[in-house]
Structure 1
């Protein structure tokens, strides 16, 4: 069985599972157990999926990670989204996820959608510098499988469009990953409408199950509305959107008097520039928060519901620094309908606060 030896040399198949934890027996009646078909494929994704971009590297407590993952699965969340370079240092999110697979989740592997990506710099030398060439993509996938201690991923993504590599080669690498049994499906991430259309054309020529595009999308970043949503809908691709809370701007974190709280991404200048927290933007974010409160939601819940109101959005990828934060996100599924008046108000303030 491939990739079945842990760092101590113990065969995974011989390891004992943690006898003190079992997944909730009612997990498919839990609040997060809402599923959508991925485009025209046969794969059902949870409407809210857990992304491991943040909070699963070596700088985070293993016990906190375990609590978040257990909570996600018990809530009905079955998709766990990773990439080769997630975590601090690179690769640590996958390595830690592999530990959690052995500790808790291996008995449930057939219920889980585990994804990874390759595209950015990862190891020394010109090949490891990233891109979408066959050597880099397939070597990266082998490394990811070893770190996660699994035989295959459910979706292997080209993490970014690489203008220096023929798209035919990238699609060929994804096709080889699927034909080898190391991935069940293929995906693309951050491809624009024209790149997406060409990728699907090439995939169909070789009968590659390219089923999903993963773009950035939130109330404050609506680039995908310039044709990508329609393109994916026309082509039968699902959409798994990341950064749905705009790196925390669409939460209550920055709305108080202490505008940049300690430990936040803005305070640490991690993925969010503190200079973006202008008085004008905060005013519009507070107005959006008022709308959310009128709806009986947190701002984060409304932001997720606003995305999921469109049936072409298969899933939103949320991060979580605690089980409580994840439960709050799942609460978005309780109210996905919006009135025309609410949508108009949201449109006004979200466009004014756009990043």
Structure 2
């Protein structure tokens, strides 16, 4: 048994934002377990990341049933950490997980059918060793299953006590409006919408961000650093150990053009003038928007986590800074 004891001052510096019109508060920064928490990673290494995050007020841990590798490993490892060290603090922690991307073989292993979602929540609870999760998401819209079926399953999962709240991820404006209406009709309002958002990916500003706000839902952003582009890693070009060089994940080498690198370098100059790294400024820029409830960060080390946390100290931007950023982009 580990002897972890949470820092007594863990809530001293983190800010918490109300999620839509619910009673739930989310930390400004949430920790995502998409990468670096699978079987190929060191347990002592990533458990220290999670403990450090909680010690600094990060109460929300974002998972999905397919996170790993292999799929399911991140939930299993998070369950081990809960059992070994975080169990006494379960009521201080928000656990979110999702279902919808490919998880197991056969016709029921992905998408948004009632069959898939009901099986997925039970599997996730078993892997983590918990009786409920705080937020359960439809991880992506299903082009063939009726939305009534998907939302009905989410509502029933909440009513069965397997999740406290429900959310959607990567739904467009019409899908979001219909999903919210169906959940409201079922008596289980949609708590939150999760989507990509960064200085380099602002697609949600084309109607979706306003829709989420109008529907009184929270908005949580993932990939805030554009797969690492908005960090110091690419200031000198593509390094051999970068995601772009290895073409892992969603960032491909051909996307890192000279035009993109030019923008990265000029954004970095503004960040330096603000006394921040580029990554810190990119996170701060998102948090500056009062329609963003929380930002999900993914880290591979404690040092990277601590550096990202510095963003919270300065989320204010002058009008000239915002205009300079607009011109660069």
TM-score (normalised: structure 2): 0.98
Candidates 300, 304, 318, aligned match of 1:321 = 300
Query: Counterpart of 1:72 in 2: which secondary structure?
Result: helix
Tell me which residue corresponds to 1:237: 217
User: Is 1:262 the equivalent of 2:245?
Assistant: no
Q: Distance in 1 between matches of 2:168 and 2:123?
A: 19
Preserved CA contact (<8 Å) 2:180 2:189: no
RMSD across aligned C-alpha pairs, in angstroms?
A: 0.9
Candidates 173, 184, 192, aligned match of 2:164 = 184
Query: Counterpart of 1:266 in 2: which secondary structure?
Result: helix
Q: Distance in 1 between matches of 2:7 and 2:158?
A: 32
Tell me which residue corresponds to 2:183: 203
Residues 82-231 of structure 1: pairs in structure 2 closer than 5 A: 82-128=63-109, 130-231=110-211
Q: CA deviation at 1:267?
A: 2.2
Q: CA deviation at 1:124?
A: 1.1
> Deviations 1:216-237 (Å, cap 9, x if unpaired)?
1000000000001110111100
- 4+ runs of 1 displaced by more than 6 Å? none
In structure 1, the gaps of 5 or more residues are 1-16
Q: CA deviation at 1:283?
A: 1.1
Q: Distance in 2 between matches of 1:261 and 1:57?
A: 24
Tell me which residue corresponds to 1:298: 277
> Deviations 1:74-101 (Å, cap 9, x if unpaired)?
0000000000111111111111111111
Query: Counterpart of 1:282 in 2: which secondary structure?
Result: helix
Tell me which residue corresponds to 1:4: none
In structure 2, the gaps of 5 or more residues are none
Tell me which residue corresponds to 2:267: 288
Q: Distance in 1 between matches of 2:238 and 2:131?
A: 43
Q: Distance in 1 between matches of 2:260 and 2:224?
A: 17
Q: Distance in 1 between matches of 2:207 and 2:152?
A: 26
Q: Distance in 2 between matches of 1:237 and 1:104?
A: 32
> Deviations 1:308-340 (Å, cap 9, x if unpaired)?
111110000000100111111111111111111
Q: Distance in 1 between matches of 2:37 and 2:246?
A: 17
